[in-house]
């Protein structure tokens, strides 16, 4: 754990900018955008998305959740910052696995639940999860923990990351989700339906890959490689649709 004081909340006008589905070549298999999958879902929310104006860089809202794959946060944030302006949010559990100061400066500060409350005191004050939603062209939740996947599928909203997910303009703005969890959790009977649910909303799900996991198990459940996640996000945001 790397405890950090809550960072100052920047204004959004700042311009700092149930089974293995790994592709045969070992790269992450990508599904989503209403195409079903994750256990036979039949997604329906494949509305067209607007690409960002070409006069500015794409804007990625990176959300980190409580999977050990949050160890990869610095690598993923760097990959995204190479082509996009990045803002970063994290659950409290995610912060067990990386230090915000390890992220590239372009992906700092890391906003967390406390920032939602400190940003708001009275009517008219900014509502952080809404302002972040408005700012972003694409949401990237990587890693998406088993818990946050379940909350997203059910529409639960009890923190900064889950309120962004609940407030997301599904169908109008793309979202890329990269689940990561133990193999048995991925294989749990509840997972396929939850993946199908978020794909039904319109999410692109970058499937976990086979690796030796943090607990020593070997199997599907590791987060797709950061570059694969970054490329999936770049594809959906610059492609202007899914
Ligand atoms: C924990 N869960 C996991 C799933 C996520 N793991 C991963 C990789 C890392 C090492 O390459 C940890 C990034 O295994 O994404 O391990 C209990 S088994």
Q: Which residues pair with 31 in a beta bridge?
A: 205
**Active-site residue among 18, 129, 147, 190?**
129
For position 59, what pLDDT does the model report? 98
Residue-wise pLDDT for 145-163, tens only, equals 999 999 999 999 999 999 9
Q: Is the peptide bond before 143 cis (omega within 30 degrees of 0)?
A: yes
pLDDT of residue 30: 53
Q: In whole angstroms, what is the distance from residue 67 CA to residue 205 CA?
A: 16
The confidence score (pLDDT) of residue 52 equals 80
pLDDT for position 49:
66
215 is catalytic: yes
Atom of ligand 1 nearest to the CA of 212: 14
What pLDDT shows up at residue 51? 76
pLDDT value at residue 95: 98
Pair of tokens at residue 178: 């990269």
Looking at residue 2, its pLDDT comes to 42
State in Å: Cα 209 to ligand 1 middle: 10
Q: Residue 108: what pLDDT? A: 98
Counting beta carbons within 10 angstroms of the beta carbon of residue 90, is it exposed (0 to 12), middle (13 to 18) or buried (19 or more)? Answer: buried
Q: What's the pLDDT at 41?
A: 34
- Residue 53 has a pLDDT of 79
Is the minimum distance from the CB of 181 to ligand 1 under 6 angstroms?
Answer: yes
Please identify every stretch of the chain with a pLDDT value under 50, giving residue numbers as ranges. 1-8, 10-28, 32-47
pLDDT reported for residue 31? 52
């Amino acid at each position: 754990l790397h405890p950090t004081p809550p960072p100052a909340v920047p204004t959004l006008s700042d311009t700092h900018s149930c089974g293995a589905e790994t592709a045969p070549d070992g790269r992450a298999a990508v599904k989503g955008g209403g195409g079903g999958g994750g256990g036979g879902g039949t997604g329906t929310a494949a509305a067209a998305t607007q690409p960002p104006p070409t006069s500015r860089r794409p804007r990625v809202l990176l959300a980190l959740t409580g999977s050990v794959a949050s160890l990869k946060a610095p690598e993923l944030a760097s990959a995204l910052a190479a082509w996009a302006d990045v803002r970063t949010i994290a659950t409290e559990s995610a912060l067990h696995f990386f230090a915000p100061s390890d992220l590239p400066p372009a992906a700092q500060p890391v906003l967390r639940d406390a920032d939602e409350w400190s940003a708001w005191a009275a009517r008219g004050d900014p509502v952080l999860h809404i302002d972040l939603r408005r700012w972003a062209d694409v949401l990237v939740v990587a890693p998406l923990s088993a818990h946050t996947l379940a909350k997203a599928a059910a529409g639960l909203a009890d923190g900064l990351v889950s309120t962004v997910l609940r407030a997301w303009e599904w169908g109008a703005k793309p979202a890329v989700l990269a689940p990561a969890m133990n193999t048995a959790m991925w294989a749990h009977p509840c997972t396929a339906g939850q993946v199908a649910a978020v794909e039904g909303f319109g999410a692109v799900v970058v499937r976990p890959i086979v690796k030796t996991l943090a607990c020593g198990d070997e199997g599907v459940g590791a987060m797709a490689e950061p570059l694969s996640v970054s490329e999936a996000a770049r594809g959906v945001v610059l492609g202007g649709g899914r």
